[in-house]
Chain A
Amino acid sequence: MAQIQPRQNYLGAGGWVWAGKYKLERYLYALHRITGLGILLYLILHLLMTTAFRIQGQEVWEATMAFLHGPWFKLGEYLVVVAFAYHMVNGFRLILQELGFVMGRPIPPVYPYSDALRRKRPWAIAVVVVAVILSLVFLYDFVIGGW
């Protein structure tokens, strides 16, 4: 008789990208991780610049700034700002959810059922809208500042 193997549900890093039929919240989760890791990478570079380079005085600081004011670095900087805006807004949603503020009142299980995910969907949509608005405000500043 053939042994029934338990279903392999450990997907590792691949599970971030695909773990079945995804809903919006699952993409927000993946994006939260990606933006978090991106911001951490920037934090390390930023710390290096504000410590090792800054302590060397005005000349080194100004040379570093001139180098970092190129259009590609500006684009990278803008992406960091967008990542921050998204990570912050989605983080607030997660904090509210974690502390039970957006769970809604308990309701009787009457068909068609309204699951917790669907009831919290407006918050997920609000996150996307607010993050886009903040990104556009920052984009406006980047553009009028001469990029």
Chain B
Amino acid sequence: MRKTHLWFLQLISGALIAVLLGIHMGLMHLDDILIILGIDAVEPTSWDSMISRAMQVTWVALYIALLIVALYHALYGLRGVIIELTSSAAAKRAVTWIIIAFGLTAFIAGTYVPIALLSS
């Protein structure tokens, strides 16, 4: 049953990523088309543009939500790919724990900086 729940979360996180990453990709990589449509994204990778987003709670919340679902989806997917390559239960457990440790580290690093910038 636990595996079913984890797999269902994989589907849900995939759908959420499509929305959240779609917003991020649209802003970052469709900025020239958005200008034609009358939406000025103001060179999204410039320091001023980036820092103005970093100061808005909505953007920070969106990026942290994206980080959570992306890490879950990517690392659960990676785990599935790796454990397919071995039949040893011990190796599968080791892979799972290494991936959980990596995910938690990436989550802490990925949330510390936006929160530090927001509260600076």
A contact residues vs B (CB 8 Å cutoff): 10, 12-13, 33, 36-37, 39-40, 43-44, 47, 50-52, 54-55, 58, 61-62, 65, 69, 77, 81, 84, 88, 91-92, 95, 98-99, 137-138, 140-142, 144-145
Pair count A-B, CB < 8 A: 76
Question: Could you tell me the distance between the alpha carbons of A58 and B42 in the complex, rounded to whole angstroms?
Answer: 17
Q: What range describes how many residues of B lie at the interface?
A: 20 to 34
Contact status of A40 and B14, CB under 8 A, knowing A47-B106, A62-B47, A145-B31? no
Give the CA-CA distance A54 to B117 in the complex, in Å. Answer: 9
* B50 contacts the other chain (CB 8 A): yes
Interface assignment of B2: CB less than 8 Å from any CB of chain A: no
Q: Judging by beta carbons under 8 Å apart, are B11 and A95 in contact?
A: yes
Verify A65–B78 contact, CB threshold 8 A.
Answer: no
User: B39 interface residue, CB < 8 Å from A?
Assistant: no
A-B contacts, 25 of them at CB < 8 A, read A10-B87, A12-B85, A13-B85, A36-B77, A37-B78, A39-B74, A43-B71, A43-B74, A47-B67, A51-B109, A51-B112, A51-B113, A54-B117, A55-B117, A61-B50, A62-B47, A65-B45, A84-B25, A88-B22, A91-B18, A95-B11, A95-B14, A98-B11, A138-B29, A141-B31
